[in-house]
Chains A and B, each alone.
Chain A
Amino acid sequence: AQSVTQLDSHVSVSEGTPVLLRCNYSSSYSPSLFWYVQHPNKGLQLLLKYTSAATLVKGINGFEAEFKKSETSFHLTKPSAHMSDAAEYFCVVSDSRNTPLVFGKGTRLSVIA
């Protein structure tokens, strides 16, 4: 069965410093992996996705993630945090079977001025 674990429920960084949000996954098949962002009281927006092409995936707003099969990880990074990055971030996995996406519990990112 597929599953995803977001290792931190809350991350706090200063504006201008790097962001690292950690995600580990479990899948019996070749997975597709996604990161979504949710601002307060809004729907979710896709940041980036991995679908077995390049292992380093670039997304919107300067975010990127690296798929590491040996570590079963898909961590999200950004070189320099901006105040507008403060939001909830969800790591999501799907394997090759005809099943819906599986969401992690989310990581709340706070950015301090």
Chain B
Amino acid sequence: DGGITQSPKYLFRKEGQNVTLSCEQNLNHDAMYWYRQDPGQGLRLIYYSQIVNDFQKGDIAEGYSVSREKKESFPLTVTSAQKNPTAFYLCASSMGTGAYNEQFFGPGTRLTVL
């Protein structure tokens, strides 16, 4: 089955701990993305990567970090510097960025910081 997997589905962490969210795709897509979703705010872009070993900050990158060492993987680390990390996190991928390139989404990870 081709697609995007995110794990885990639910994640609980104590305040002050770093946590890493996994995202893997087998669609052979070049571009990958991380979004944060809060009620009533739509999707906000955290980071995106157009190619291996390269990534750019999105609109709300502060307190987050990413790596892109393999084409199929784009993990997101939520650091202790992120002031309000509890949210639903969505990973996506596409052939390229910009026009004509629809994004394919994973099922999401719900992070709760206690």
- CB of B98 within 8 Å of the partner chain: yes
Query: Is the pair B102, A31 in contact by a Cβ cutoff of 8 Å?
Result: no
B92 to chain A, nearest CB (A): 8
Complex contact A106–B98 (CB within 8 A): no
Mostly helix, strand, loop or mixed at chain A's interface? loop
Give the chain A neighbours of B4 by CB distance below 8 A: 43
Contact of A49 among B50, B88, B102, B105 (CB under 8 A): B102
User: B107 on the interface (CB 8 Å rule)?
Assistant: yes
Q: Is A103 in contact with B102, judged by CB distance below 8 angstroms? A: no
Interface, chain B (partner A; CB < 8 A)? 4, 31, 33, 35, 40-43, 45, 48, 50, 58, 88, 90, 92, 96-108, 110
Residue numbers of A with Cβ under 8 A of B are 9, 29-32, 34, 36, 41-46, 49, 51, 90, 94-101, 103-106
